[in-house]
Chains A and B, each alone.
Chain A
Amino acid sequence: EVQLVESGGGLVQPGGSLRLSCAVSGFTFSRYWMHWVRRGPGKGLVWVSRINSDGSSTSYADSVKGRFTISRDNAKNTLYLQMNSLRANDTAIYYCARVTGYNTPLDYWGQGTLVTVSS
């Protein structure tokens, strides 16, 4: 059974940092591209970032470029999102999601982890 489990969310002050993790099981992690998507309170889904299967290529939404870094450890079956210089409008549930390849839909999603940026 495919499973994606996010962790690392919490309350952080503006300007602070958090590192999200997404532990996966039930599939060969090293073969799949992975994404982060967020949904703010009362808002829609927003794509955040993606990484290719070996970690050599990444892409970011303009709103997080230069502040967030996506990475992965294929030996640990884990995806990461390092979030720095956090702002109030980064408050959201953050989901990791799997895709089967380049330019394919998000077929499996984790349950999400809540990040709240507030003083």
Chain B
Amino acid sequence: DIVMTQSPDSLAVSLGERATINCKSSQSVLYSSNNKNYLAWYQQKPGQPPKLLFYWASTRESGVPDRFSGSGSGTDFTLTISSLQAEDVAVYFCQQYFGTPYTFGQGTKLEIK
């Protein structure tokens, strides 16, 4: 199974500041035949289901604010929020869908400092 490891486990950032969450996979999730990274990011707020933010590592889902960005390739990926807003408080998960079992990172809890 592909193991996904996020860092940090929790993060406190001031409003308007940048937040960066990292995700590392135990093996590459880049499929050479189509040059796509099978990596997604989700946001989960308390009492709500997860919401898809990015897929193919950097393709923003419709409706996701452009202060969010996804980057990386192979085994190392990053989710960045350029200017933190109060509504961004949530737990963020990365996930590989390169193959089953799909696996998630342990989650990063983002709070306001």
A residues touching B (Cβ–Cβ < 8 Å)?
Answer: 35, 37, 44-47, 50, 59, 61-62, 95, 99, 103-107, 109-112
- Given A59-B100, A61-B101; A106-B107 close (CB under 8 Å): no
Q: Are A45 and B97 in contact (CB under 8 A)?
A: no
Scan B89-105; emit 1 where CB is below 8 A from any A CB, else 0: 00001010111111111
Q: Are B104 and A46 in contact (CB under 8 A)?
A: yes
Q: Is B106 an interface residue (CB 8 A)?
A: yes
B101 interface neighbour in A47, A95, A99, A103, Cβ under 8 Å:
A47
Pairs across A and B, CB under 8 Å, 18 listed: A35-B102, A45-B44, A47-B103, A50-B100, A59-B101, A61-B101, A95-B50, A99-B97, A103-B38, A103-B98, A104-B97, A105-B52, A105-B97, A106-B50, A106-B95, A107-B52, A107-B61, A111-B49
Q: Is B55 an interface residue (CB 8 A)?
A: yes
User: Which of B48, B101, B105: most chain A CB closer than 10 A?
Assistant: B101
A-B interface contact total, Cβ < 8 Å: 57
Chain B interface size band reads: 20 to 34
Task: List the A residue with the shortest CB-CB distance to B50.
Answer: A109
Alpha-carbon distance A103/B99, docked complex (angstroms): 6
Task: List the A residue with the shortest CB-CB distance to B108.
Answer: A44
Q: Are B105 and A44 in contact (CB under 8 A)?
A: yes
Q: Are A47 and B102 in contact (CB under 8 A)?
A: yes
Alpha-carbon distance A47/B42, docked complex (angstroms): 14
A45 interface neighbour in B55, B99, B107, Cβ under 8 Å:
B107
- Given A44-B104, A44-B107, A47-B103; A110-B98 close (CB under 8 Å): no
Name the distance in Å between A60's Cβ and chain B's nearest Cβ. Answer: 8
Q: Are A106 and B93 in contact (CB under 8 A)?
A: no
- Given A103-B97, A105-B95; A45-B38 close (CB under 8 Å): no
Chain A positions within 8 Å of B50 at CB level? 37, 45, 95, 106, 109
Q: Are A110 and B40 in contact (CB under 8 A)?
A: no
The 4 lowest CB-CB distance pairs between A and B, nearest first, are A109-B49, A105-B40, A47-B102, A105-B55
